[in-house]
Amino acid sequence: MKKLEQQLARILQTLSSLSKHVGQIAKEVTRSTAAAKGTSGSASGRKTRGAAASVRRDTVLDSVLETIKRNRSGISIAQLKKKTDLGDRQLSNALYKLTKKGMVHAKSRGIYVKS
């Protein structure tokens, strides 16, 4: 019985220690998320376009779509790769998704324009 009590005491001590660590991690996460929300877009090197733009982060689809929108006559896959700095697979997936959503279409083979 004494051995069981000792084991339970060790388990209680371990759980108490873990609980303190979880509390510390939760505080750090709260601080880091509050700091991320409080930073402005210009501090991270981004140009701001109002209050909402300072918090918003562009996705891969957003960056590809914006690049295609800027080129009215169409843009090739090679130009998209260069301007967005994406890999083959990422760019291919983004173009596939944007095409399925009806946001872009292929003007000719390898040339994409906004729908």
What does the pLDDT look like over 21-45, one tens digit per residue?
Answer: 888 888 888 887 777 766 544 454 5
Number of domains composing the chain: 2
Q: Which candidate, 61, 91, 63, places its Cα nearest to that of 76?
A: 91
Q: Does the residue 48 lie in any domain?
A: no
| 53 has pLDDT over 60 | no
Both 66 and 109 in one domain: the answer is yes
> What is the band of 56 on the pLDDT scale with cuts at 50, 70, 90?
low
Give residue-wise pLDDT tens across range 57-102.
678 999 999 999 998 899 999 999 999 999 999 999 999 999 999 9
103 near 114, Cβ under 8 Å?
yes
The answer as to whether 66 is a domain residue is yes
Asked if residue 107 and residue 64 are part of one domain, the reply reads: yes
How much is the pLDDT for 108? Answer: 92
**Structural domain that includes position 14:** 2-40
Residue 45 in any domain: the answer is no
How far is it, in rounded angstroms, from Cα 105 to Cα 69? 12
As a whole number of angstroms, the distance between CA 47 and CA 37 comes to 16
46 lies in some domain: no
Q: Are residues 25 and 67 in the same domain?
A: no
Q: CATH no. for residue 65?
A: 1.10.10.10
- 3-class secondary structure, 64: helix
Token pair of 47, please?
């140009």
Specify the 3-state DSSP secondary structure of 76.
strand
